[in-house]
């Protein structure tokens, strides 16, 4: 007589339960890691976007303001949320910005402010910074911090986002003949956390 041996391949209920449990833990860890990496990438992207918006505004505004006529800057309205100035322009076509009488020729008033009235009709208002010159409207930056944090009469301010700084979106301060531009742009994470980017630049208008 030959004895037939039966090889059984299988798992007991306890082994199956342990295997499923371990797989669940591993999958959960991988899912959590994936979400964490995704959040990190998104946070990086929104920060870069906010930074690029502020820098783009500065790249457009600084050269113009540095060539502006000092007498045309709205010093009496500053510090404030609106900047106005005029730049030398060759109005008579003689190749220079000075007329035959030796007077500086100036172009249209340049106004830089938050687009509260949707001047360009694109549907974006409080979070957009625009530059208006004659009939031309240029978007300097999107994602402007909005609404701006408001300072109090006693010198304190309402730090609504808790970053220890007064974020005003777009604000102009002055010192002697220097104009300081403050631009605050913001990005928001998937979890609703705000990343505020603050860019500042000092400019001295060169022309009288």
Strand order in the sheet with 110-114: 83-85, 110-114, 129-133, 136-141
CA distances from 144 to 38, 120, 130, 155 (A): 25, 16, 11, 23
- Which pLDDT value is given to residue 2? 53
| Rounded Cα distance, 9 and 23, in Å | 21
Is 9 a residue whose pLDDT tops 70?
no
> What's the whole-model pTM score?
0.80
Q: Please give the residue that has the higher pLDDT: either 31 or 77.
A: 77
**Partners of 202 in beta bridges:** 180
Rounded Cα distance, 82 and 188, in Å: 26
Q: How far is it, in rounded angstroms, from Cα 50 to Cα 69?
A: 31
Q: Which two tokens stand for residue 128?
A: 């957009």
For residues 68 and 91, what is the distance between their CA atoms, to the nearest angstrom? 15
pLDDT at 29: 76
Rounded CA gap, 33 and 18, in Å?
Answer: 23
pLDDT at 58 > cutoff 60: yes
Position 68 scores a pLDDT of 96
């Amino acid at each position: 007589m030959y004895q037939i041996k039966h090889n059984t391949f299988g798992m007991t209920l306890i082994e199956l339960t342990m295997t499923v449990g371990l797989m669940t833990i591993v999958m959960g860890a991988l899912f959590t890691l994936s979400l964490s990496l995704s959040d990190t990438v998104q946070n990086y992207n929104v920060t870069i976007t906010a930074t690029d918006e502020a820098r783009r505004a500065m790249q457009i505004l600084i050269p113009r303001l540095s060539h502006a006529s000092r007498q045309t800057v709205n010093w009496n309205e500053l510090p404030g949320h609106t900047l106005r100035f005029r730049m030398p322009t060759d109005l008579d076509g003689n190749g220079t910005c000075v007329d035959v009488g030796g007077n500086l020729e100036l172009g249209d008033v340049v106004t830089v402010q938050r687009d509260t009235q949707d001047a360009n009709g694109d549907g974006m208002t409080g979070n957009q910074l625009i530059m208006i010159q004659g009939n031309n409207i240029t978007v300097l930056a999107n994602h402007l911090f909005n609404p701006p944090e408001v300072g109090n009469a006693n010198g304190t301010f309402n730090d609504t986002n808790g970053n220890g700084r007064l974020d005003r979106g777009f604000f102009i301060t002055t010192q002697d003949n220097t104009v300081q531009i403050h631009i605050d742009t913001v990005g928001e994470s998937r979890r609703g956390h705000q990343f505020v980017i603050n860019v500042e630049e000092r400019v001295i208008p060169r022309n009288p």
